[in-house]
Structure 1
Amino acid sequence: MENMFSRSVDPEIREALLNNDEASAAAVLQQYLQEQENIPLNIAVTGDTGSGKSTFVNTIRGVGDDAEGAAPTGVVETTKEVTHYPHPNFPKVIFWDVPGIGTMNFPAEKYLELVEFERFDFFIIISDRFRENDVKLAKEIQKKKMKFYFVRSKIDNNVRDKRRSQREFSEERTLTQIRKTCIQSLQDQGFESPQVFLVSSFDLHLYDFPLLAETLERELPDLKREAFQLAMPNTSLEMIDKKKKAFKSKIKYWATLSAAVAGVPVPGLSVAVDLSLLVGVVTRFVFGFGLDISSLKKISHYTGVPYEELKAIIKSPLAATVVTPALVLNLLAQTESLVALMTAEEGSRFIPILIPVTMTLSFLTIYKALNIFLDVLADDARRVFEKTTLNCRG
């Protein structure tokens, strides 16, 4: 049993397994997995009136501007106080809509203190034209040794206007000029070597948002990096692959939890835990890849690809639906190798001398099942991304 899975997990769990204390191992594993799923990430999004920060907050969360729980948007100042907006599928990832610096209620000299800057992991400073207050805020954040990122918003509007007005339009030249102007503006106000990300809140896969996501991910600590990855929309095939890798790294822990529970001699416990575990983990896969009904409808709305067309290219029955124990059981029963493992596990479950065998079979069943489900869902996410990206480019 040790060679099969216990060497791949933490020392405390391994020791409990080797001492045949399966109940303790299961408790430790359960706590570990819960802690991993509840890593907090707090992102402050700030900028002047009309800069588009509320729309950015809504879009990055996969929520429409008119949806329940959306950050209010408008041409007048709608952010009067620091307001938090949890990600709908990963509620520990919270985006904070923060009033711009220098407003009546948030004067520059007391800004960071009033917004309680210590709670944030980093700041995103959004503007459609960087001004003195943006630089002032960045310098104050810099003094606190915190991370911040300049985001130039509404790039889609600029590109569209230039395309209409220029006979020989070049998108690359237009973007280069906008970036150069932003950087020069920040340098003129005394900010050295600024990096500016050009973003459209309505087309996150275009322009610099994938680069922004990659930069944020790279500069976050390991545990928060994974929380950020899973909450981000699929803006590239690389992002989908990173999500898959993050999920895959956890499968050994979920499978070991199943094995530990299988060693506890309580009738019906292992089956109940396995089903609950599979439903919970697969649902997390679906949400992480943006394959739940709400996310797919949101993607359909923004890209113009009909929802039914997106459903048509999805192969896994786990996507675009509610994952239930009955659905998971039905899928397990359709895979011969999994049926063989489950049958062997049930046959050995109540023979004390075969408990180690039961645990190994339980580990293998969950490990293999989750890998199968993960592969199919990741492939579906790629197909949806390619379909919607092609439509936008067309």
Structure 2
Amino acid sequence: MDNCDDLSPEMEQVQVAMQNGDLVLATVKAKNVLEKKKNTSITIAITGERGSGKSTLVNALRGVSDDDEAAAPVGVEETTLEPKQYSYRNNPNITIWDLPGIGSSHYPADQYLRKVGFERFDFFIIVSDSRFRENDAKLALEIQKMKKKFYFIRSKIDNNIRAAERRKKDKDQTLQEIRQDCIKNLKELNIQSPKVFLVSAPELHLYDFHFLCETLELDLPELQRDALLLALLNISLNIITKKKNNIHTFIVFTGSSVCHRGRCISPWFICCDRCRSHCVIHFIL
């Protein structure tokens, strides 16, 4: 198969079956993978102290403006009083939960995870617009005990950059200072090797958002990783390239799943030689 040098184990099984002329086996395996992809879900929790920009980040990740009817409400005061679920428009199986600020009277830190129902979430994003505080660290340590993944996002970085520009301060130096301060701050709160990403919700293509995506790619299981990748906004060439490769693989699976009686009937493919014995497939871009 062209351009398929880096294949998943499932894809390799489909390829081997097709090369051996066993289209029935290839079809079964391809359909199994497609069914798994279709039913893969991801549940993301975004939390932090009130006013840290959680709801704005929820909207930005989903490609929704703050004034959209489907947007999470934002404001200068705490707008998230109860856990609220939001889906990606292009994949309703991927949901982001906008959680109330930790440490409020309704959600004290020592009861927070139990009250928000931590067990339903695949991973947590902990947001702060300044220094990470004791409640953030306590939450991270509790999440870690539950063997869940968590990531720290230092939000509203665009505000810091504008302030640095007014003082004629170098942007890269400012970013490095903020990152190091966050890491130092979290280590002092007993968080070992914290993963901190500097993000501006209105400008996800800048700063560290692409590093967060790369980290999730390494941390998530394959099916969840692929689902999240396809739901992400096209904010960088790297994401677009990975989407192209992922869709290429998906089309190969789809083509494999409709091969039957020795013929490939998918309009996305052409077959050369005799399909029954070779099934050499070329992806049509």
Q: What's the TM-score bracket when you normalise by the shorter of the two chains?
A: 0.7 to 0.9
Relative CO higher for 1 or 2, CA cutoff 8 Å, sep ≥ 6?
2
Equivalent position of 2:83 in the other structure: 82
Gapped runs of 5+ residues in structure 2? 1-11
| Cα distance in structure 2, aligned partners of 1:7 and 1:183 | 45
SS of alignment partner, residue 259 of structure 2: helix
| Cα distance in structure 2, aligned partners of 1:236 and 1:95 | 22
- Which stretch of the first structure deviates more once superposed, 231-240 or 61-70? 231-240
Q: 1:29 to 1:218 in 2, by over 3 A?
A: closer
Matched, 1:191 2:198: no
Which AA in structure 2 matches 1:155? I
Residue of 145, 158, 161 corresponding to 1:159? 161
Equivalent position of 1:204 in the other structure: 204
| Cα distance in structure 2, aligned partners of 1:212 and 1:263 | 43
8 Å CA contact retained: 2:23, 2:259: no
| Cα distance in structure 1, aligned partners of 2:225 and 2:161 | 32
Q: Deviations over 1:292-346 (max 9, x none)?
A: xxxxxxxxxxxxxxxxxxxxxxxxxxxxxxxxxxxxxxxxxxxxxx8xx69x9xx
Equivalent position of 2:6 in the other structure: none
1:233-244 to structure 2, matched below 5 A, reads: 233-244=233-244
Q: Larger helix proportion, structure 1 or 2?
A: 1
Residue of 132, 136, 139 corresponding to 1:137? 139
Q: 1:162 to 1:258 in 2, by over 3 A?
A: same
When normalised by structure 1's length, the TM-score is: 0.61
Equivalent position of 1:222 in the other structure: 222
1:109-128 to structure 2, matched below 5 A, reads: 109-128=110-129
Equivalent position of 1:246 in the other structure: 246
Instruction: Please report how far the alpha carbon of residue 220 of structure 1 lies from its aligned counterpart in structure 2 after TM superposition.
Output: 0.7
Equivalent position of 2:101 in the other structure: 100
| Cα distance in structure 1, aligned partners of 2:23 and 2:165 | 66
SS of alignment partner, residue 92 of structure 1: strand
Instruction: Please report how far the alpha carbon of residue 75 of structure 1 lies from its aligned counterpart in structure 2 after TM superposition.
Output: 0.8
Q: 1:87 to 1:96 in 2, by over 3 A?
A: same
| Cα distance in structure 2, aligned partners of 1:209 and 1:58 | 14
Equivalent position of 2:65 in the other structure: 64
Instruction: Please report how far the alpha carbon of residue 238 of structure 1 lies from its aligned counterpart in structure 2 after TM superposition.
Output: 2.0
Instruction: Please report how far the alpha carbon of residue 7 of structure 1 lies from its aligned counterpart in structure 2 after TM superposition.
Output: 5.5
Which AA in structure 2 matches 1:169? K
Equivalenced residue count is: 270
Q: Larger strand proportion, structure 1 or 2?
A: 2
Gapped runs of 5+ residues in structure 1? 265-269, 279-337, 345-355, 376-394
8 Å CA contact retained: 1:49, 1:75: no
SS of alignment partner, residue 127 of structure 2: strand
Equivalent pairs: percent with the same residue? Answer: 46
Q: Provide the aligned C-alpha RMSD in A.
A: 3.1
Instruction: Please report how far the alpha carbon of residue 247 of structure 1 lies from its aligned counterpart in structure 2 after TM superposition.
Output: 1.6
| Cα distance in structure 2, aligned partners of 1:71 and 1:198 | 21
